[in-house]
Amino acid sequence: MTEAEPKIELHLHLEGAAPPAFIRQIAFEKSMNINGIFDDRGNYAYRDFWHFLEVYEVATSTLSRPEDYARLTRAVLQESAESGVIYSETFLSPDFCGGRDVGAWREYLAAIREAAMVAERDFGIVLRGIVTPIRHFGPEVARETALCAAETAGDFIVGFGLAGDEIKFQPIDFKWSFDCARESGLRLTCHAGEWGGPESVRAAWRDLGVERIGHGVRAIEDPRLVDELAEAGVVLECCPGSNITLGLYPNWRAHPIAQLRDRGVRVTISTDDPPFFHTSMAREYERLAEAFGWDEAVFRSIARTSAEAAFCNRETRDKIMKKLEKADA
């Protein structure tokens, strides 16, 4: 049932979804030597989260032209569709796509969008983008990224987020950027409660006014915060396989997603950076079913929550809701 089950993914980094073979091929075409980021079986090799961020940036350095991103978009959407994903929101970074120059960013975006339209026709999957500054690049740099986001907000770029090293800076440092994004009509999310504790989740929610939290799972360490998130309907973009592979939790049964859900928090399921964490949406479903005994009804209700929390416009949401309802019938 897992591949056939219609899925909605809200937390996926486009570069982080690049298969290692894809990055090797692009590097080969450009005569770049990046062999140090792979193990002897050809997988991405990293020691911990911080080393993962470095490896991620080396892999991403091979993607230097809009057409590289067009190829990547098609490859990623094909894989997602094979896992049963019907709608995907990916994080896109003008930091990597054109170095925060608005004109260059528009060219990357046009290439990504065109590839997404073709993938929608070929694989039946819909893509929308969330512009995402990189936290450890700092708040000043993030302002330039926010301006790129504001210039291109619309029916494809629908959100604004913040990824990268959660230990660096405070959410409040990025307030200008988040206000700028909100004023241009973008919906807001922020990585928090992955490497930072519950206070990091509270700060992102309170100081940036986000409606979704990327990960957010460490909210479980503060029962009052869990109640507040449930009460306010804040949506958590949970990526259990990512958390387990990076060593945040020792195994699937120890992951707090089920507890959070039982306590009334609106949880959703995503893969984060699937080839880095040896996962896919189908695998996340399989492992969650094994660990918590979740059946089709649970996954359907989570998919509905994801559709409600998607940042797309009404027309697109109605379209994906119809697909979910068709599967229910």
Catalog residues that contact ligand ADE under the rule CB under 6 A.
13, 16, 56, 163-164, 191, 194, 242, 272-273
The residue of the chain with the least Cβ separation from Zn ion equals: 272
d(CA 208, CA 220) in angstroms, rounded, equals 20
Q: How far is the CB of 216 from Zn ion (least distance, A)?
A: 11
Sketch the per residue contact string, 218 through 257, with Zn ion: x for CB under 5 A, - otherwise: ----------------------------------------
Tokens at residue 314, please? 């009404």
Binding-site member from 135, 272, 276, 310 for Zn ion (CB under 5 A):
272
Scanning 52-60, 150-158, 204-212, 271-279 for contacts with Zn ion by CB under 5 A, the matching segment is 271-279
6 or 270, CB closer to ligand ADE?
A: 270
Q: Which does 74 bind (CB under 5 to 8 A by kind): Zn ion, ligand ADE, none?
A: none
Q: How far is the CB of 51 from Zn ion (least distance, A)?
A: 16
144: contact with Zn ion by CB under 5 A: no
CA angle 313-315-319, nearest 5°?
115
Q: Which does 24 bind (CB under 5 to 8 A by kind): Zn ion, ligand ADE, none?
A: none
The answer to whether the CB of 137 falls within 8 A of the CB of 100 is: no
**R_g over Cα of the chain:** 18
176 or 195, CB closer to ligand ADE?
A: 195
- Residue 322, judged by CB atoms within 10 A of its CB (0-12, 13-18, 19+), counts as exposed
6 or 196, CB closer to ligand ADE?
A: 196
84 secondary structure, DSSP code:
T
238 or 312, CB closer to Zn ion?
A: 238
Q: Which does 16 bind (CB under 5 to 8 A by kind): Zn ion, ligand ADE, none?
A: ligand ADE
Sign of the torsion formed by the C-alpha atoms of 256, 260, 265 and 270: positive
Beta-carbon contacts of residue 297 (< 8 Å; ≥ 6 apart): none
d(CA 32, CA 35) in angstroms, rounded, equals 9
Q: How far is the CB of 57 from ligand ADE (least distance, A)?
A: 10
Q: How far is the CB of 16 from ligand ADE (least distance, A)?
A: 5
Burial 17-33 (b: 16+ CB within 10 A, else e): bbbbebbbebbeeeeee
6 or 193, CB closer to Zn ion?
A: 193
156 or 195, CB closer to ligand ADE?
A: 195
d(CA 267, CA 230) in angstroms, rounded, equals 10
Residue reference for tokens 């094909």: 78
- As annotated, the active-site residues are 194
Q: How far is the CB of 128 from ligand ADE (least distance, A)?
A: 18
Size of site (CB under 5 A) for Zn ion: 1
d(CA 168, CA 304) in angstroms, rounded, equals 34
d(CA 182, CA 161) in angstroms, rounded, equals 11
Single out the residue of 182, 165, 166, 171 nearest to residue 139, CA to CA: 171
Tokens at residue 297, please? 């009804």
d(CA 60, CA 16) in angstroms, rounded, equals 8
Q: How far is the CB of 130 from ligand ADE (least distance, A)?
A: 12
Q: Which does 194 bind (CB under 5 to 8 A by kind): ligand ADE, Zn ion, none?
A: ligand ADE
The residue of the chain with the least Cβ separation from ligand ADE equals: 163
Q: Which does 240 bind (CB under 5 to 8 A by kind): Zn ion, ligand ADE, none?
A: none
Interacting residues with Zn ion (CB under 5 A): 272
